[in-house]
Structure 1
Amino acid sequence: MGQNADMPHASDTRQSIIDAVLRIIGQDGVAAVTNRRIAKEAGVSLGSVTYHFATQHELLRESLLYFVAEETRHFSALAGACTDERFDIGQAAETVARVAGGNAFDSRHIAPFELYVQAGRDERLRAAATECFAAYDLLATRILNQLGVPDPERLAGVAVALVFGQQLRRLATGAPAEELVDTLLILTRCAAPRIP
């Protein structure tokens, strides 16, 4: 007996659940992730949530892994675009602005902070968080290298930490994205004085 064409595939249901978990985390934090809330947010039955994810740890882990895969893909593509020999400080500022995520924080921007804090509490999630930070570091290294900053690998982690710190500040205070770009440009100019 074949599957009805109108019925969602198991992978679609699973993805709907993961998307719902990320939305809930972004809106109300990890503590708000309950099976009932996920089912309602995803538009699936309560049984579907428990069928696809036996524990809340598995839900959080799979959500973080999905987020990491998307972030890694996105940041690797951005890093690939930073290999043009004509890459300059203007392009660096544009890339940083895209990384900063525009002018408003929504639940998608808040969810990573919640997931990383959760990874700090649960070492089983740390490998996934480490993978994502490696993608951030790769992008930072490429940008710094293209701008002629000496020893970009050593400074990449500092640049990434600065971006996260500035984003957290934006989240808490509503500061504009331009502050992040300005801060990174100042850091870059200090590290590579030949940049105009």
Structure 2
Amino acid sequence: MPHDSDTRGSDTRQKIVDAVLRIIGQDGIAAVTNRRIAKEAAVSLGSVTYHFATQHELLRESLMHFVAEETRHFTALADECSDESFDIGQAAEVVAQVAGGNAFDSRHIAPFELYVQAGRDERLRAAASDCFAAYDLLAARILTRLGVADAERLAGAAVALVFGQQLRRLATGAPAEDLADALLILTQLTPTACPEGD
């Protein structure tokens, strides 16, 4: 049974991580300072430095937390795609969930900042790789259920399309429907797609 102080410590760490993700989403990684984190998380400045000795540790923990949440979410979605009756309509619904709804908020922006940071800091890359593995699994399940041959080989391209479309949404304000349309067109244009019932 966890001790009360352990639970409080865990709650404080989570508050700090959540605050870091909000700050990154709002103002970028450069805005992540201990003072700003303490204010955003409503904790003491000493708590921030007590739980996280370096900014790298803060960023890594934040990315790991995001990855764990995304992996759980997308693995659950992938499991739903195993249903024998899965069809193009259900695929569109899943894609809409992947697209993240109708508006980009700071929670949707923060991961892009963290992935760019992983490109600069190889210590963050393993966490980023875990997240992309979950995305690939979901994409492969969707493509398989839609009768696309070589679904696993094409999954990475589908994931890249999702990220590209999300970046486009972020930069231009394009609607989420554009992403769903792009993915559905991709499945229909793939020359290796199998006719339904084959």
TM-score tier after normalising by the smaller chain length: over 0.9
Matched to 2:135, the amino acid is: Y
**Structure 1 CA distance, aligned partners of 2:126 and 2:83?**
32
Partner of 1:126: 125
Indicate yes or no: 2:93 matched with 1:94. yes
**Structure 1 CA distance, aligned partners of 2:13 and 2:179?**
36
Partner of 1:48: 47
Indicate yes or no: 2:181 matched with 1:174. no
Q: In the TM superposition, what is the alpha-carbon distance from 1:194 to its structure 2 partner?
A: 3.1
Q: Aligned runs of 1:2-151 on 2, under 5 Å?
A: 9-151=8-150
Matched to 1:108, the amino acid is: R
**Structure 2 CA distance, aligned partners of 1:15 and 1:103?**
27
**Does the residue aligned with 2:170 lie in a helix, a strand or coil?**
helix
**Structure 2 CA distance, aligned partners of 1:8 and 1:123?**
31
**Structure 1 CA distance, aligned partners of 2:4 and 2:105?**
36
Matched to 1:63, the amino acid is: S
**Does the residue aligned with 1:83 lie in a helix, a strand or coil?**
coil
Q: In the TM superposition, what is the alpha-carbon distance from 1:118 to its structure 2 partner?
A: 0.4
**Structure 2 CA distance, aligned partners of 1:63 and 1:112?**
10
Q: Deviations over 1:22-60 (max 9, x none)?
A: 000000000000000000000000000000000000000
Q: In the TM superposition, what is the alpha-carbon distance from 1:8 to its structure 2 partner?
A: 6.9
Q: Deviations over 1:90-111 (max 9, x none)?
A: 0001100011011100000000
Matched to 1:194, the amino acid is: P
**Structure 2 CA distance, aligned partners of 1:70 and 1:150?**
30
Q: In the TM superposition, what is the alpha-carbon distance from 1:190 to its structure 2 partner?
A: 1.0
Identical aligned residues as a percent: 81
**Structure 2 CA distance, aligned partners of 1:4 and 1:146?**
47
**Structure 1 CA distance, aligned partners of 2:49 and 2:89?**
49
Partner of 1:157: 156
Question: Contact (CA 8 Å) 2:17, 2:58: kept in 1 or not?
Answer: yes
**Structure 1 CA distance, aligned partners of 2:39 and 2:60?**
20
Q: Deviations over 1:137-161 (max 9, x none)?
A: 0000000000010010000000000
Question: Contact (CA 8 Å) 2:147, 2:194: kept in 1 or not?
Answer: no
Give the TM-score normalised by the residue count of structure 1: 0.95
Question: Contact (CA 8 Å) 2:168, 2:174: kept in 1 or not?
Answer: yes
CA RMSD of aligned residues (A): 1.5
**Structure 2 CA distance, aligned partners of 1:134 and 1:179?**
24
Q: Which runs of 5+ in 2 are unaligned?
A: none
Instruction: Point out 4+ residue stretches in structure 1 off by more than 6 angstroms.
Output: none
Q: Which runs of 5+ in 1 are unaligned?
A: none
